């Protein structure tokens, strides 16, 4: 977070440094312009006056652009006026007229230096204030970034917890699905065995009942053997009971069938006696 604050601070400070560099360049150019203007005014002939005037024009023109870049409006206007005077000095044919405009440009050159110095000083004080504001802003950004980082860590922790819970839930669902599949497979196998027992047991019970009826005839029983036992099971009944229940059902039917036969045979013997 401190690195972020430093980066923000430097990014805010660099424009101020650049502005100071522009002022330095503007003051240097203004110094050359003033010096050339002074020489142009102090020359003893029109040729020398115009020679230095030409150099001063170039310097004033440079100051115009630099003053505009650093938003020093007064210096920009003064540099423009001085350049115009120097251009007028070049256009004059007489020494006196040329020197007159050179003098005006020289006076404006001195004023130009004062204006640029004043602008630079003002910008420096503003820069100090801006630096404090930028530092405070950078600290605020750093604090906000740190808070965001903490929030992100909290969200990541919650995300991992949710992922863990989701994984556990998926494992539980998978285990339940496996248990269900195993139960259904086991139940299907059991139902298949129940169906087989049903088929064989009902055939065997029918044969047993037929045998008892034949035995009743052989023994000259007056009343034929009759059984009221119901030993058939439906598919739905098999599905609603276990394998042991199915076995017990047919065991009980055998008991009922044999008990009925024994009772009927016993009754017949008592009558004969």
The answer to whether residue 143 scores a pLDDT higher than 50 is yes
Domains and CATH numbers, the chain: 2-152 (1.20.120), 178-272 (no CATH)
Q: Are 45 and 94 in contact (CB under 8 A)?
A: no
- Higher pLDDT among residues 142 and 206, named by residue: 206
The pLDDT-based confidence of 104 (bands split at 50, 70, 90) is very high
**b/e map of 106-134 (b: 16 or more CB within 10 Å)?**
bebbebbbebbeebbeebeeebeebeeeb
pTM: 0.42
The answer to whether residue 18 scores a pLDDT higher than 60 is no
Phi and psi dihedrals of 224, rounded to 5? Answer: -65, 155
- Higher pLDDT among residues 39 and 2, named by residue: 39
Instruction: Provide the Cα torsion 78, 80, 86, 90; round to 10°.
Output: -170
pLDDT for residue 178: 92
Q: Are 67 and 116 in contact (CB under 8 A)?
A: yes
Residues 145, 150, 153, 155: is their CA dihedral positive or negative?
negative
Percent of the chain surpassing pLDDT 70:
81
Selection from 2-6, 100-104, 129-133, 142-146 with the highest mean pLDDT: 100-104
Under the phi-then-psi rule, with left for phi > 0, alpha for psi from -120 to 50, and beta for the rest, what region is 164?
Answer: alpha
* Matching residue, tokens 């602008």: 119
pLDDT for residue 247: 93
Phi and psi dihedrals of 70, rounded to 5? Answer: -95, 15
pLDDT digits (tens, 9 = 90+) for 109-119: 889 899 999 88
3-state secondary structure of 226: coil
pLDDT for residue 11: 44
pLDDT digits (tens, 9 = 90+) for 197-233: 999 999 998 898 888 888 877 776 566 666 666 778 8
pLDDT for residue 145: 80
pLDDT for residue 228: 65
| Summary count for the chain: helices (H), strands (E) | 6, 0
Average pLDDT, the chain: 82
Q: Are 115 and 74 in contact (CB under 8 A)?
A: yes
The answer to whether residue 181 scores a pLDDT higher than 50 is yes
pLDDT for residue 225: 67
């Amino acid at each position: 977070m401190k690195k972020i604050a430093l980066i923000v601070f430097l990014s805010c400070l660099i424009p101020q440094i650049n502005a100071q560099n522009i002022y330095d360049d503007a003051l240097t150019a203004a110094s050359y312009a003033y010096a050339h203007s002074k020489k142009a005014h102090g020359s003893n002939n029109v040729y020398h006056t115009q020679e230095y005037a030409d150099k001063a024009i170039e310097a004033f023109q440079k100051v115009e652009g630099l003053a505009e870049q650093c938003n020093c409006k007064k210096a920009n206007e003064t540099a423009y006026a001085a350049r115009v005077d120097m251009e007028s000095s070049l256009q004059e044919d007489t020494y006196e007229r040329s020197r007159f405009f050179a003098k005006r440009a020289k006076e404006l050159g001195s004023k130009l230096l004062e204006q640029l110095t004043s602008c630079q000083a003002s910008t420096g004080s503003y820069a100090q204030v801006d630096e404090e504001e930028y530092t405070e802003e950078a600290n605020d950004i750093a604090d906000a970034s740190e808070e965001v980082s903490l929030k992100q860590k909290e969200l990541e922790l919650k995300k991992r917890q949710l992922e863990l819970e989701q994984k556990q839930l998926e494992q539980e669902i998978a285990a339940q699905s496996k248990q269900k599949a195993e139960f259904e497979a086991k139940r299907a196998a059991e139902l298949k065995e129940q169906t087989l027992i049903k088929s064989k047991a009902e055939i065997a019970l029918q044969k047993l009942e037929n045998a008892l009826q034949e035995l009743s005839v052989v023994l000259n029983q007056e009343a034929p053997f009759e059984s009221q036992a119901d030993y058939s099971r439906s598919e739905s009944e098999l599905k609603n009971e276990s394998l042991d229940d199915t076995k017990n059902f047919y065991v009980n039917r055998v008991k009922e069938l044999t008990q009925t036969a024994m009772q009927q045979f016993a009754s017949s013997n008592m009558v004969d006696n």
